[in-house]
Chain A
Amino acid sequence: MGVSRRDFLKGLAIGGTTGYLAMAGASSTVLKDVFVPPRPIGDFDIGECKSVKCTVVSETSWFNNARVVQDMKDAGGLLVNQYIIPWTHEGVKEGYNGDNSGGFCTLIDVELMDGSKKKILLDCGWNTAWMDECLKREGVDKMLENHEIDMLFVTHEHFDHYWGVESVLKHCPDIPIIVPKGFYKEGFDLLKGANFPIAKVKNDYPHTGPLEVRESGKVHPLFPGAASITFDSAIITRVTGEQGLVFNVAGKGLVAVTGCCHMGIISFLEEIKHSIKGGDKIYGIQGGLHISPFEDWDPQYDDLIKALPGYGIEILGCNHCTGYLTAEKMVLAGMPVVQGTARFKSKKKLYLGNGDQIMFG
């Protein structure tokens, strides 16, 4: 004899509940990859290069942490437009001739597979007097005059990475410049020769060369073995967008070179891993990792220290906004942090400082 409609519905209800809960359990365990498929390793082929050498022209963006933080607070906080903040340029004991501003700038020498060379200037610092001295110290001024540097790659519009553009343009006004999507009108005006008296930033050498604005969300090839990725990052002091460089060193793996890495080092590495061919092997990193730039510590930063070793990085060059506190913790965690020499106003040997070099390949 068949079952009644009522009994069938009871079975249906019990079965339905069981099936729903069982599927919920299975989807987060044994069937996890079916429900949330893992993102595949990237397939964008950027080619290969033989080696990448980074010379730290300047990583000391400012000389007194407390002063630069106070400048932002006095102006109304971290979201105030950087061009209307009266930054401290005198009376700072640790500063460069009393000026608290320094700058971030890295020279990248790339040897291609055919033996030819490419040079990229990554960022151009802040204080033009300081940058003039740094560029001269590393011979970059002469390289610019001889048109040996292929491009100025501006990672983002922040004062300490971009406002020293006059120091570059006075030696080579027609240098090709690449900026990320998100640059503000003031940034473009500065290139044309604008003056911002409140922030005390100016450029008396208008740019005459090609200017490229790189869109976010895709890989932009530069030359064989090199590419860039742009992120729509919202950054303090009203800056938007940041880009980083990626190199594929033959036989070694990928190398990520950053300015400040406001997009987050894990986000940057994940984007590299899942966009670029060979992304399963991140060989090295160089640049600011933006973890404890003001030497403060938040427990969430510990997660970064725990996550980074998972990428199998063999050479970890870092400086600037990485923070000495972060470098100490990374060394304690057994990560291959490359030490510096603490010269030219870089304070500690914990990471690569001004005038130091790092080689990949």
Chain B
Amino acid sequence: MMTEKTQETGGKFSWPGFIVGLLVGAGLFYATIQLVSALMFSRTAA
């Protein structure tokens, strides 16, 4: 009987994913703050 040997690839922490996430998360916060401050200090904002 032949059994197929499969390589286990799950459960491994992805550092590339973490780094990309770090940059995306930081960028997202920066963009949020820029939007909020633009609205807060806008002379035309209601």
> Which residues of A are in contact with B by a Cβ distance under 8 Å?
1-4, 6-24, 27, 35-36
B interface residue count range (under 10 / 10 to 19 / 20 to 34 / 35 or more)? 20 to 34
What is the CA–CA distance of A38 and B33 in the complex, to the nearest angstrom? 16
The majority secondary structure among interface residues of chain B is helix
A7/B17 in contact, CB under 8 A: yes
B19/A15 in contact, CB under 8 A: yes
A4/B25 in contact, CB under 8 A: no
A15/B9 in contact, CB under 8 A: no
B10/A35 in contact, CB under 8 A: no
B33/A18 in contact, CB under 8 A: no
Residues of A within 8 A of B33 (CB): 27, 35
Determine how close the nearest CB of chain B comes to the CB of A181; give it in whole angstroms.
16
Q: 7 interchain pairs (CB within 8 A)?
A: A7-B11, A10-B14, A15-B18, A18-B25, A19-B23, A27-B29, A27-B33
What is the CA–CA distance of A15 and B28 in the complex, to the nearest angstrom? 12
The majority secondary structure among interface residues of chain A is helix
Residues of A within 8 A of B23 (CB): 15, 19
Residues of A within 8 A of B22 (CB): 15-16, 18-19, 22
Asked if B37 is at the interface of the complex by the 8 Å CB criterion, the answer is: yes
Q: What would 13 more interface pairs be, CB under 8 Å, given A9-B17, A16-B24? A: A1-B7, A3-B17, A7-B10, A7-B13, A12-B17, A14-B21, A19-B21, A21-B25, A22-B26, A23-B26, A24-B29, A35-B33, A36-B37
Residues of A within 8 A of B37 (CB): 35-36
Q: Among A2, A4, A10, A12, which residue has its beta carbon within 8 angstroms of that of B24? A: A12
What is the CA–CA distance of A15 and B14 in the complex, to the nearest angstrom? 10
Determine how close the nearest CB of chain A comes to the CB of B31; give it in whole angstroms.
10
A19/B26 in contact, CB under 8 A: yes
B17/A23 in contact, CB under 8 A: no
Specify which of A14, A16, A27 lies most central, judged by the most chain B CB atoms within 10 Å of its CB.
A16
What is the CA–CA distance of A14 and B14 in the complex, to the nearest angstrom? 10
A12/B20 in contact, CB under 8 A: yes
Residues of A within 8 A of B28 (CB): 16, 19-20
Determine how close the nearest CB of chain B comes to the CB of A37; give it in whole angstroms.
10
Specify which of B27, B29, B30 lies most central, judged by the most chain A CB atoms within 10 Å of its CB.
B29
